[in-house]
Each structure stands twice: as C-alpha cells, then as structure tokens.
Amino acid sequence: MYKNLFIDFDDTLYDTRGNADISLREMFDFFHLNEYFKDPEQFFRSYWKTNVELWDQYAKGEIERDYLVVERFRRPLSEGVDSKGNRFNPSREYCLEISDVFLDFCGNKPGVVDGAHELMDYLKQKGYKIFMCSNGFHEVQFRKLKSCGLFDAFDKIILSEDAGANKPSPVFFNYAFKATGANPSDTLMIGDNFSTDILGAKGVGLATMFFNRHPDKFKTPEPVDYEIHSLKEAIELL
C-alpha cells in the first residue's frame, strides 16, 4: 500500500527523553549545580516543564532557535539559590555554555526506543523508502544518528532547518515531498507527537501511524489510520 515512510526520530526511534535525563545529570555534576539546588529533582522538573513549553512554541514558529536554547536553561537555573540565599542569575553566555555541554553529552548517547533497530531492519528488507522527518537541530541530530547506529537506516534525512519550517507546518512536509519524490497517496507518517507529527501529516493528506507511548495518559483526540503502543506493533502492521 505504502512505498514511502516518513518517520520521526526523537522519542519515536531515538530515546531522546531517556538519553537527555542521563545527560542532564551529567551536566548538573559538571557545573556543580548542587551549590544552587539542594534537591536536583527540582532543577530536572523545572527543566522538562520549560523545555516542553518552549519546543511547542518553536514548532509553532512562535520563537526562534536561539531563544529556545537560552531560555530552556535560564528559567530553571534562575530558581536556584546559593548557601547565602542569593538567587542564581545566569547570564546568556553561561546558558549557552551549559547548553553546549549538555548537547555534547546528549550527542554521545546511544539509547534507542525498544525495537527501533529491529523495525528499521524489517522496513529495509520490505523495500520501503525510509525518510527521517525531524524538527531537531542539524548538528545534534547527525551526532545522535551516528551514536545510536541509525545513520545508514534512512534513504534521506529531512530536517526542519533545511526545510525552513518545523512540523506541523505544511512548508515542512511540502519540502519533504520535493526532497524525496514521495507523494501523499503512497506515503505513511509515523511519529509519537500528535500535534507535530500526526496533525501536520494529516494536514497535507498523509496517512498516519501514531506511536502513542503513554496511552494511559494521552487519548487520541481524533481518528488516525493506525495507533500503536510499541514499535513491534509497527512491524506487525507493515
């Protein structure tokens, strides 16, 4: 039925959250942030809340990349207080430095979602054309692809920085069509983010496979062609 597959990368194939959790803890120790946070979990919770909010704004085109990179650290760091009761006031330069170290740690992590390698091997054997469609930053995504061993799994890699727009924008998907030669009629989008991957794909006429990793917390608000809860299920359907 489908000749082409558009597949999201972060948290669909690559365990972005798990790898980032490890990297955050490494970064916390590297910068001695225990001087400002007696409870490291306070910082981690604030970081993830801020990060999710900013990525949502970034996907909608409401903020620029540079703003996201600084703010996702400035806001949680600003909650820190030292032993004298002074609140941490991180500079832009400090936030950029901590971001660089964090991304360096992240880029070296090999962790993938359970079944990712098996799925990609299966799809390749079945003869699908496989295209990665990601909103991630160019230099970071290529490092992660190589670290986790999935770099050669794709026929082409489509990134938002090259497209000039993020998923769910039609601009992103139209760029992907032109870059890959795929047509909506013979292409399936697979992704874990309902707003960016699924709604974006549906908006340009693509069939969709929603990887709902947390069905106990998220109920699909509108119909999709397929809903899976593991990558093993994708193998069974494709």
Residues 6+ apart with CB under 8 A from 1: 186
Work out the mean pLDDT of the chain and round it to a whole number: 96
* CATH of span 17-107: 1.10.150.240
Does position 185 have pLDDT exceeding 90, yes or no? yes
Contact criterion met (CB below 8 Å) for 130 and 153: yes
Asked if omega into 90 is within 30° of 0 (cis), the reply is no
CB atoms within 10 A of CB 121: 12
- How much is the average pLDDT of 158-186? 96
Confidence of residue 36 (pLDDT cuts 50, 70, 90): very high
User: What is the amino acid identity at position 43?
Assistant: F
* CATH topology assigned to domain 4-15+110-237: Rossmann fold (3.40.50)
Residue 198's pLDDT band, with cuts at 50, 70 and 90, is very high
Phi-psi region at 74: left, alpha or beta (left = phi > 0; alpha = psi -120 to 50): alpha
pLDDT at site 58: 92
- Gap between the Cα atoms of 199 and 220, Å rounded: 11
User: Is the Cβ–Cβ distance between 139 and 21 less than 8 Å?
Assistant: no
Asked if the model's pLDDT at residue 1 lies above 90, the reply is: no
DSSP assignment of 7-58: E--BTTTB-HHHHHHHHHHHHHHHTTGGGT-SSHHHHHHHHHHHHHHHHHHH
The pLDDT, as a whole number, for residue 137 is 85
Q: What is the pLDDT of residues 86-138, one digit of tens each?
A: 999 999 999 999 999 999 999 999 999 999 999 999 999 999 999 999 998 88
- Average pLDDT on 45-65 reads 94
Residue 161 confidence (pLDDT): 92
Whole-number pLDDT of residue 136: 84
Q: Tens digits of per-residue pLDDT, 159-168?
A: 999 999 999 9
Average pLDDT value for residue range 186-195: 97
The H or E element containing residue 222 is: none
Structure tokens at 8: 């999201």
3-state secondary structure of 61: coil
Report pLDDT for 62.
Answer: 95
Q: 115: which 2 tokens?
A: 């079944």
Average pLDDT over residues 200-214: 97
Segments making up each domain of the chain, as ranges? 4-15+110-237, 17-107
Q: 191 pLDDT band (50/70/90 cuts)?
A: very high
In sign, the C-alpha dihedral spanning 28, 34, 40, 45 is negative
* Structure tokens that stand for 140 in this block: 């970071």
Q: Give the model's pLDDT for residue 213.
A: 95
Round to whole Å and give the CA distance between 4 and 142: 21
What one-character DSSP code corresponds to residue 225?
S
Q: Is the pLDDT of residue 71 over 90?
A: yes
